[in-house]
Amino acid sequence: MRVEHLTKVYDSGSRSQVKAVDDVTFHCEPGEIFGLLGPNGAGKTTALRCISTLLKPTSGTVRVGEFNVLEHEKEIRARIGFLTSEMKLDGFFTPDYLMGYFGRLNRMSRKEIEARKEILYDELRMEEFIHRKIEKLSTGMKQKTAIAISLVHDPEIIVFDEPTNGLDVITSRAVTDFLGKQARQGKTVVVSTHNMSVAEKLCDRFGILVRGSIMDMGALEEVLKRNSADSLEDVFFGYILPAGEDDR
Ligand SMILES: Nc1ncnc2c1ncn2[C@@H]1O[C@H](COP(=O)(O)OP(=O)(O)OP(=O)(O)O)[C@@H](O)[C@H]1O
Ligand SMILES: [Mg+2]
C-alpha cells in the first residue's frame, strides 16, 4: 500500500480550516507492520480514515495495487479491515450475531462465515463471550469483538486506529501478538498509536506524525541513530513544541 502526499483539510465554518494531515507519504508492504506514532490531535485518525475511504482526501492519494482511493473506493474497501474507537457496536447484539451480520454484508457465504468465526474466535480467545450481549462485555472483550468484525472478510490490508487503547497488558499483548501473526501471514498492517512501547515492540517501521506532518520515518534503530536518542520517547519529545505554542 502506498500513501502519496496525503493531505486533509477540514472546513469548519467559513473562516476556520484545520489542516489535519499535511503531505503525508509512506508505504507498507505485505508482511510488514507500519506505525503512525503521534500525540493527540496529530492527525492519525484522519489519515487512517482517508486510507480506509471513509474520508475523501483534500489532495494526494492512497494506492493498493492497481487501485486508488479516489477512483476505486469499493475495491479498496473490500481489501481493507478498518478498526477505530469511533465505531460503536450496538449493545443489544452478541459478538456472534454481529460476526454473521457483517459477514453477510461482505457477501460471504454461511460456510465462509462459520470458518472465519472459528479462526478469529480461537486466535483472539473469544469463545467465552461470543453469545453475551455487547452491553455486558468488558472493554477488552468489546475491542476483541470490534477487531474480529473488522476482519471478518479476511482483508489483505489491516488498518487499526489505536488498537490497544484502554486495554490491560494481557489483552494488549494478545492484540499485538495477533497483529504480528497477521503480518507473518503476509498481511499489510498499518496501526496508529501514541504508545511508545507498543510502537517499539510491534512496528517494523514507523512514521512520527506531529501536527499532520511526518517528522521522521524508518525502523527503530535508524530513527534513534538519526536523532541521537536512546529511546523513542526522547525522539518524540524532541518533535513536540512546548505547551502553549500549539495553535491548532
Ligand atoms: N470532523 C472534524 N472536523 C474538523 N476538525 C477535525 C475533525 N476531526 C478531526 N479534526 C481536527 O483534526 C486534527 C487531527 O485530529 P485527529 O482526530 O486526526 O487526530 P489523532 O492523531 O487521531 O488524535 P488522538 O490521538 O486524540 O486520537 C485535530 O486538530 C482535530 O481537531
Ligand atoms: Mg485518533
**Ligand 2: distance of its center to the CA of 87 in Å?**
12
**Mean pLDDT score of the chain:** 93
Q: Is the pLDDT of residue 244 over 60?
A: no
How many other CB atoms are there within 10 angstroms of residue 175's CB atom? 23
Nearest to 2 by CA among 22, 21, 29: 29
Share of residues in the chain with pLDDT > 90 (%): 82
Burial annotation 124-138 (CB, 10 A radius, 16+ → b, else e): bebeebbeeebeebe
Cell 496508529 sits on residue: 192
What tens digit of pLDDT does each residue of 115-131 get? 999 999 999 999 999 99
Whole-model pTM?
A: 0.93
- At the fourth CATH level, which superfamily is domain 2-87+155-239? P-loop containing nucleotide triphosphate hydrolases (3.40.50.300)
The pLDDT value given to residue 123 = 92
Is pLDDT larger for residue 247 or for residue 179? 179
Q: Which residues pair with 208 in a beta bridge?
A: 37, 216
The pLDDT value given to residue 95 = 97
Nearest to 4 by CA among 19, 26, 22: 26
Counting ligands in written order, which one lies closest to the CA of residue 50? 1
pLDDT bucket at 241, cuts 50 / 70 / 90: low
Find the mean pLDDT for residues 102-113.
96
What tens digit of pLDDT does each residue of 151-167 get? 999 999 999 999 998 88
Find the mean pLDDT for residues 233-242.
82
Domain limits of the chain? 2-87+155-239
Using alpha carbons, list the distances in angstroms from residue 13 to 170, 186, 209, 227: 44, 43, 26, 39
What tens digit of pLDDT does each residue of 57-76 get? 999 999 998 999 999 999 99
Q: Is the pLDDT of residue 48 over 90?
A: yes
Cell of 46: 484522519
Query: Which ligand 1 atom sits closest to the C-alpha of 8?
Result: 12
Q: Is the pLDDT of residue 237 over 90?
A: no
The pLDDT value given to residue 242 = 55
| Residues flanking ligand 1, CB < 6 Å | 10, 12, 18, 20, 38, 40-46, 194, 248
Mutation test residue for ligand 1: of 7, 18, 241, the one with most atoms within 8 Å of CB: 18
Q: Is the pLDDT of residue 176 over 80?
A: yes
The pLDDT value given to residue 202 = 94
Helix axes 169-184, 139-150, angle to 10 degrees: 10
Three-class SS of residue 121? helix
Taking the alpha carbons at both ends of the chain, their separation in whole angstroms is 30
